[in-house]
Structure 1
């Protein structure tokens, strides 16, 4: 292990090991072998990072920096991200198993998120209020909310970091970024770009570690003012409980069991491609994966035939190879969970049309799988598996399709395939989800808000309003009266 690459923590502008000297090894999902080591933060390291973030808020180098100047730093960071997209993508692929074609392209696109928020940095304005007291001048200003704990998972980590870090820095906050301990290498490498961009020490610290020593001390720390969390619902419940200790404003972007509705007038090739994108894209390791395919009964058979035909050309292979479509899953536990869930579904009468087994090769590979279901209670329609498993269920009427789409505690993504514009508007309006794609799937943009309903979380990331979520409104009253304040015992 001594010859493996090693990644340190980035705290207050300095690189260091964890104070308790804990080291973890990261496995390459494509081989199942350790490929790198990284330092883990202790509670003391968390204290150090938060203290630096709190201190820098009163440091003139950051506190008095103009909004325009903050935007220029973000533009510089965006350029560095774009310049190093290939390197960051390669690290993410090696560490998490996601396809290099996606990680490098997504990282390159993430630069546009930083540019978007750089442009918003000096567009945050206050308001002069038309107050009902003629001898008062009253106005509002927006100030940085304070110290932000940004917690991101291993999947799509460059994207999910940008949606938090971009608006937080544009607003003038300081950030302690906690990377997943499962695959933290790209985030620890990304910290070098923050340093190169010229942000003052302490504005951003990047740490990683387990729940007990890192995540819990961070989310319950008394000096944290804002928590931005992406992860699973169970972990989110702990985050919310921890936030009771500091009353931090909290946003949650959680998992989902997103429905994709395919109506009888849909273009079958487009619908098949949408279902494949929503289920096999990113090897199924996406929070918006459209794992509940709801298909009009009259087209179920021909649609399955199209999917089978297209799936036969899917290449399962090394994630660093450009011709691979589906790579390994990040952890072996995901493969085991999928196998268990598929077995339960078959016991409930579901039919596996193709796939359904772990690939016979080293690493955490699961074959792309199609499950034909006869009941909405089928296990694969309820459990978020985070792997390349598509489940299809027939429906007969529009109302039935909508009811099935909404029969879930989640509400992140959704899809509708139809050539009827009126139906597209009607159905998308009735689906209870934060995002609805029509005749497409898995599209993102820094301009478009991203977030869910119900157990998929609350709060929105990206879009114009995201920056406002990292500010607090201050109201200032200035008396313009010529006479001194009158009776102090009467509220004005």
Structure 2
């Protein structure tokens, strides 16, 4: 998205301002000897104004006609409640008085539609309404909250194809991935429904007679959710569904380059809340940039900030939240490796490496960026993976035969070219790809680079583009060490048939990542497991397992139901 493509204010606003200036000028001149001159000047200004307004009107009309949403091919966008200009604030009511931004399609770089972002005043109003809504939501029993989440999942099911198409249009991923992303939100809703009847703490044995020792879990309150462009639906869904059944309300700031998806999802959720006579601010939204994200991070009324994005920005979020002793949940970068040993089944290795390295055009946090091959099989695996790369169908994201779409922005294309140049300078050889494609949109060739040292600076840099660095190792100890030497610790995988090696890999001296796989890719995590990573990945966990604990606060409660008061150290008072 280019902020330079933002639309001007409404035509009526500009006309009103100009007309007031014209009237004030005429009143000032009346009754003076120079009246005729001023009147003539006013007439000239009047015609200049008419010309200006005609030009603005024509330009705006032309801009509207070029928006994809006004083309018959994209009429389905209106099924999601979208229009040429969309409100980017929801807190029970729709609004948006801030900057107008235009969303662009990565497949052709054409404008889709516009969104009015939040002002700081609207942010303040939204936070207050969210806090008020929490007072209602927290009193609803957890299983009944689960019923609302079930309805959200059903509403998403009804719109899964059209919403998946929007994800594909605005983010750039292929259609099946767009639909699959919405399905993830649906699946986590289903998961959360069951979880709503199972959340609880243990009853612990007390050492004091006539006493009970229990753990109580309560919602933290307001959860601020800041999501990235690459999964504009799923990541919000992971947070939203679990946070809701825990008794929290949510304030969402999506990526500035996927605002239409944020608006469309919020409309679906808001309708469910309205049908149940619940405050819309239970699931509020403020579209915006760094100003909104910074405000959320600093705001003591936001009890938990869940941030998904780059390590660089994640550090800033963490510092701002920590300054106020708030909570954060960080899902940051990944420099993920597949390690292939000499006993691996190459029929599993090749499709796994291709899927994990070119899926979503290399723009997943779990994308395989390093392929480590045992020296004895290095050449044959490189040859087979390169052959598979050349068979990847690149094209229109909505074509069912397409396997690989565009990068999200023009800036990402620049990063792709810069990374390839750095790799060459550091000793790498491009064996496949390496070029920008000559077609509309942000298309680049998926690329394989060999010959780099394991500690080359570019290898240790997470470049969010489809470049796979192939490294050659000789021993297990070497491979495990290389896996762990990068700053991030998200996902990792080995391919082997050696069971001893498998358990060494899973153990304390194996992978230091949050996701540790065997004989499957680094991508494709299931919702039932906790998703997240260590080190510069942030340490947060979302989705399944006991990730719900991130959205709650724990209290240890001791209850004396006896008539005695046994104090510590046997102290007694007369």
Correspondences of 1:34-49 after superposition (within 5 Å) = 34-49=111-126
Deviations 1:125-176 (A, max 9, x none): 2444433333544433211111110111011222211221111001000110
Structure 1: any 5+ residue segments left out of the alignment?
none
Deviations 1:319-352 (A, max 9, x none): 1211111111001111111111111111122110
**1:382 and 2:448 matched:** no
Of 450, 458, 474, 2:539 maps to 458
Aligned partners of 1:259 and 1:389: how far apart in 2? Answer: 13
1:427 Cα deviation (Å)? 2.4
**2:11 corresponds to which residue?**
none
Of 82, 90, 110, 1:33 maps to 110
Kept in 1: contact 2:225–2:252 (CA 8 A)? yes
**1:239 corresponds to which residue?**
317
1:269 Cα deviation (Å)? 2.6
Please give the secondary structure, in 2, of the residue aligned with 1:291.
strand
Are the structure 2 counterparts of residues 90 and 226 from structure 1 closer, same or farther at C-alpha, using a change threshold of 3 Å? same
Aligned partners of 1:380 and 1:325: how far apart in 2? Answer: 27
1:268 Cα deviation (Å)? 1.7
Kept in 2: contact 1:258–1:411 (CA 8 A)? yes
**1:154 and 2:229 matched:** yes
More helix by share: 2
Aligned partners of 1:12 and 1:370: how far apart in 2? Answer: 47
Deviations 1:369-417 (A, max 9, x none): 1101231233441222212111101011111111111110111011111
Kept in 1: contact 2:89–2:118 (CA 8 A)? no
Kept in 2: contact 1:296–1:394 (CA 8 A)? yes
Deviations 1:443-480 (A, max 9, x none): 22221111101001112112231112211123444443
Please give the secondary structure, in 2, of the residue aligned with 1:186.
helix
Are the structure 2 counterparts of residues 397 and 40 from structure 1 closer, same or farther at C-alpha, using a change threshold of 3 Å? same
Give RMSD over aligned pairs.
Answer: 2.1
Of 485, 494, 513, 1:433 maps to 513
Aligned partners of 1:463 and 1:55: how far apart in 2? Answer: 29
**1:206 corresponds to which residue?**
285
Larger radius of gyration: 2
Please give the secondary structure, in 1, of the residue aligned with 2:250.
strand
Please give the secondary structure, in 2, of the residue aligned with 1:473.
strand
Are the structure 2 counterparts of residues 287 and 135 from structure 1 closer, same or farther at C-alpha, using a change threshold of 3 Å? same
Please give the secondary structure, in 2, of the residue aligned with 1:38.
strand
TM-score, with structure 2 as normaliser: 0.81
**1:141 and 2:216 matched:** yes
**2:130 corresponds to which residue?**
53
**1:17 and 2:92 matched:** no
Of 161, 169, 176, 2:251 maps to 176
TM-score, with structure 1 as normaliser: 0.94
Of 379, 387, 407, 1:329 maps to 407
Give the aligned length.
Answer: 485
